[in-house]
Amino acid sequence: MPFNGRPKTLIAPSTGYPTTRLRRPRQADWSRRLVAENALSVNDLIWPVFVHAGDEPRIPVESMPGVMRYSVAELAEVAREAADLGIPVIGVFPYVEGELKDAQGSYAVADNNVVCQAVEAVKNAVPTLGVMCDAALDPFTSHGHDGLLEDGSILNDETVEILVRQSVLQASAGCDIISPSDMMDGRVGAIRKGLDEAGFQGVLIMSYAAKYASGFYAPFRAAVGSASTLGSASKSTYQMDPANSDEALREVALDIAEGADMVMVKPGMPYLDIVRRVKDTFGVPTYAYQVSGEYSMIMAAAERGWLDGERAMMESLLGFKRAGADGILTYFAVEVAKRLR
């Protein structure tokens, strides 16, 4: 009978001293490696990076120790480092100055915006490195929401129209993976149709299929400049309720049916059960985002000497693999790649 991960009974010897000792394979490094059920590889890593339109090469993100906003030119240089380490993909996230924001997020679809500049620079520097771009309006809107806002409500279909334009623009700049993170209904199918009609049939879609209205996003919002615009407003009318699990499977099913090549669960560590359910149910390429709050908690505790930062970093990522993730978006990507090397 095939083993399904849940043993029906525990069989113990009938008499005498135990013949089964589970500590035996743990005695040596070689035997622990030999029987390891999961492994973390550099091929599992996607590195999210922040880019700004100014000349300052590196601007530290105060709420994310060790994380920088890079200029376009500097991003091309660090992309070479990522590629040399074997990291397959970087995700580009923009910091947008306040004067470029408006209620419609117009800069998101402006020719040669900072995302397009960054993608072109990276692809020119390292053509073989995969580049992922978010399809979302929150870094670009004056109100900090992921969609168009009217009388306090997010307009779904009107937002999707802009996301399609944004996705085609990013693909035109050389983006390899479009990642809709807005959680508007129907956006994956609309983006797939828009990309195909524009001649970008080869561009992948990794949807933020199960993205929760989480308290773990705060450092990221500071990094992209949307924290001050969003203020205390809630995204709960379009991001998922943290109490829900079955709903995540419905979201994932819809995105797959609409043409998503890969799906993502966000945040990561508080939602490992969702990662496992998605992988077991659909068997599609499944990714988890170790979000800014998760990263900053580990870094802050490590800085204070409360835990071994490197050990916690590696353990946290192995947890994603154990839960069924095919890959992880993590701000630790470069440090992990160096350690794996």
- Concatenate the DSSP letters of all residues of 309-334 into one string: HHHHHHHHHHHHHHHT-SEEEETTHH
Q: Residue 222's closest CA among 63, 58, 53, 70?
A: 63
For residues 47-73, average pLDDT: 96
pLDDT tens per residue, range 147-168: 999 998 999 999 999 999 999 9
Answer yes or no: 279 catalytic: no
Binding site residues, as ranges? 251
Q: For residues 166 and 106, what is the distance between their CA atoms, to the nearest angstrom?
A: 10
pLDDT on residue 14 = 53
Report the first-to-last Cα separation within the chain, whole angstroms. 39
**pTM reported for the whole predicted model:** 0.91
Which DSSP string do the residues of 240-305 spell out, in sequence order? BPTT-SHHHHHHHHHHHHHT-SEEEEESSGGGHHHHHHHHHHH-S-EEEEE-HHHHHHHHHHHHTT
- The catalytically annotated residue of 101, 123, 235, 266 is 266
pLDDT tens per residue, range 255-290: 999 999 999 999 999 999 999 999 999 999 999 999
Q: Which fold has domain 40-340?
A: TIM Barrel (3.20.20)
For residues 170-185, average pLDDT: 97
How far is CA 315 from each of CA 184, 264, 311, rounded to the nearest angstrom?
Answer: 33, 20, 6
pLDDT tens per residue, range 70-104: 999 999 999 999 999 999 999 999 999 989 999 99
Under the banding of pLDDT at 50, 70 and 90, the label for residue 1 is: very low
What residues does each domain of the chain span?
40-340
Answer yes or no: 8 catalytic: no
pLDDT on residue 132 = 98
Binding site residues for Mg(2+), as ranges? 251
- The catalytically annotated residue of 101, 211, 235, 321 is 211
